[in-house]
Structure 1
Amino acid sequence: MVKFEELKKKIPTQITVLGGGSWATALVKILCENNVKIKWWIRRKSDVDFIRKYNHNPSYLTDVVINPRKVKTYHKMSDALNGTEYIILAIPAAFIPSTLKDLHAKHFEGKKIVSAIKGMIPDENILVTDWMEKAFNLPLGNSCVIAGPCHAEEIALEKQSYLTIASPKVETAQSFANLLNSRFLQAHAIGDLYGVEYCAVIKNIIAIACGITRGLGFGDNFQAVLVSNAMQEIKVFLDKVYPATERDLNSSGYLGDLLVTAYSQFSRNRTFGNMLGKGYSVKSAQMEMNMIAEGYYAVKSIYLISKSHDLNLPIIDAVYNIVYGKANPKEEMGRLKGHLK
């Protein structure tokens, strides 16, 4: 007679992924390494049809093979949410309210919500997990966030990678981390949801700053000082906005995620900043990239939060002044030099 626990292990975990971008595609690839069934919602119907026919995402990470035995694509979101255990959000933060506007609390009832978004809800200036909790009356213990250091492009190449999963209920984080662990990826769980989520947001802003300095012709020496000062700004922000007794900012979910975003050629926020440093306007840089740089929206939110707490964050201020205040990048970074040590 088969024991219940043994039978349970053979039943695939039902997961919904919302979003059709590179990170969503990478997460689908990772999850397919384990015993899962995935319902994948993608906004563009043409992409849904293409994946069904050719088992590749035509718009992002086009070399990744989508396993048709484990993955079904959907254009109607409500169908993708039926009968699932986990819902992974991989939609740019700015589009979360409009994308989910037709959903109700019942769609999320009894399900675990995983945010793979490293941004904030514009205008409301709140984290994605906070917005979801308020919009759909979700228990925070059923939510978790994914942090790096990890780029979708390296997942596509199956390069060894690491993820940090954070939730106020560590058991929730660990259960999802178990679904990610595979031959080329290791995931571990921690309890600092807000600390990890805020850090993931701010590191995108720092990546824009790094890109700007590169575009202006600054070298490795300056970027090393910029990033080390940025880590201090992150600490100042977190200690004031969301203090925690158990938080190691030197661990990979914080410092590691910052480093990979600040230095990597795959970082879209760094690319966005690089274009600004080279003289592109914000609008022209966004149009040429054809991808969302979360730091563009996040810097306004973090700037306003920092000012409400009377915090001195020179790097955040500099990026805000360039992106929203239309400050000259060369002049603004020239002023920033005097604040770094």
Structure 2
Amino acid sequence: MNHKIGKEARCAVIGYGSWATAIAGLLSANEPCVGWYVRNPEVLEGLRTEGRNPRYVSDLEFDRTRIAPSDDLNEVVRNAEILVLATPSAYLKTFLEPLTEPLDDKFIVSAIKGIVPGDYQTVAEYIHDRYNLSYKQIGLFSGPSHAEEVSRGKLSYLTVACTDPENARLIGSKFATDYIRLSYSTDLYGIEYGAILKNIYALAVGIAVGLGYGDNFLAVLIANCAGEMTRFLEESYPAEGRNTQVSAYLGDLLVTCYSVYSRNRRLGLLIGHGCTVKSALNEMTMVAEGYFAAECIRHINFRHKVDMPIAEMVYKVLYERASARRSMKELTLKLI
């Protein structure tokens, strides 16, 4: 089957959170009309009547003639050739549950930086297996990209990954604005797993900050996180030409570890301050992907057996009720 994307391919967004809203904003600046599957009645009403999402990045105003929000998933899928997935990974199955429309002739772009819990798969792996799609019709939209900044037009550098560079560039043209700089990659595995791992590492950094560790230590911790990420990618799935120092890997890691917008850093911070994991999760208003990723990556790593002391520490604190203070102190002896 020919998996080339046509220049006139219509786009649709699946999801209604902050990142989905920011993505819809980018696409609507370039496309005549963007389909948008919105399950939440309040958000759907706000988009239809006021051109705003009342719950997430509500300062972003849409031209209502350029978006087509709907609570009918099959209608949205039927009317688009490119589907951008932008839900929390934990809710992806729920969002796609009503789907009866075939995906055989669609191109799926995942903007999700998380593991599908319970399946121990990335979103690309899950879509490939569940809907019997070729990896040639699956792409990624990734990089250091907090929705709050993208939605406000702050300069951001993002990466589109596809097995076919031509498809990547065509998808990129639909996201391009004067404040979005784009790069391209064919490393689906590395970029997707890198984006998942950095959420775990941001949790580790948040825990350290909450415990009172200083900037000197944080620099060492994050440097070791970068090394651990590279080690996992190279030992689990080597790829010729992969450079984990560029923005899609290292840049995304850094912004998630340092930014005030980082949900995963926030969750770690609460735990470091003494909250139980359960109470910290309850206090979060948005999903911290690192919570699910920590358990899934540990499961996946049983097969690869990569040395991952930082990810292992986060797992034990989150799932085995290990003391954050004691676990971090033990980790300090393993860092270089």
| TM-score range normalised by the length of the shorter chain | over 0.9
Show CA shifts across 1:196-238 (max 9, x none). Answer: 0000000000000011111111111111111110111111111
2:334 — aligned with what? 339
- Distance in structure 1 (CA, Å) of the matches to 2:93 and 2:40: 18
Task: Tell me the secondary structure at the aligned position of residue 58 of structure 2.
Answer: coil
| SS of aligned partner of 1:33 | helix
Matched, 1:275 2:275: no
Amino acid at match of 1:160: L
- Give the match for residue 177 of structure 2: 182
Aligned equivalent of 1:161:
156
Q: In the TM superposition, what whole-angstrom CA distance separates every residue of 1:138-184 from its partner, at most 9, and x where no partner exists?
A: 11111111111111111122111110111222222221111111111
Q: How does 1:48-197 map to 2 (within 5 A)?
A: 48-104=44-100, 106-197=101-192
Gaps of 5+ in 2: 1-5
Q: Distance in 2 between matches of 1:50 and 1:102?
A: 23
Partner of 1:38: 34
Residues 47-96 of structure 1: per-residue CA shift (max 9 Å, x gap): 10121111110100010001211101111111111121210101111121
Structure 1 counterpart of 2:224, from 229, 233, 253: 229
Q: Give the residue type in structure 2 aligned to 1:191.
A: T
Out of 288, 295, 312, the residue aligned to residue 293 of structure 1 is: 288
User: 1 CA distance for matches of 2:32 and 2:226?
Assistant: 37
- CA drift of 1:103 comes to 2.0
Which residue in the other structure is 1:22 paired with?
18
Alignment partners' CA distance in 2, 1:95 and 1:243? 30
* Local SS of the residue matching 1:187: strand
Superposed counterparts of 1:189-338, under 5 Å = 189-338=184-333
Describe the SS at the equivalent of 1:32: helix
CA contact 1:142–1:169 (8 Å) conserved in 2: no
Question: Matched residues in 2 for 1:145 and 1:325: separation?
Answer: 33
How far does residue 98 in structure 1 lie from its aligned partner after superposition? 2.6
SS at match of 1:107: coil
- Give the drift of 1:114: 0.4
RMSD, aligned CA: 1.3
CA contact (8 A) 1:180 1:186 kept: no
Report the CA distance between 1:308 and its aligned residue: 2.4
User: Whole-Å Cα distance in 1 between the matches of residues 162 and 174 of structure 2?
Assistant: 15
1:312 and 1:96 mapped to 2: Cα distance?
30
Gaps of 5+ in 1: 1-7
Contact 1:143 1:172 in 2 (8 A): no
TM-score (norm 2): 0.95
Residues 141 and 172 of structure 1 are in contact (CA less than 8 Å); yes or no, is this contact kept in structure 2?
no
1:263-319 CA-partner distances (Å, limit 9, x unpaired):
101111111111111111222112211210000000111112223222211100100
Q: Residues 114 and 122 of structure 2 are in contact (CA less than 8 Å); yes or no, is this contact kept in structure 1?
A: yes
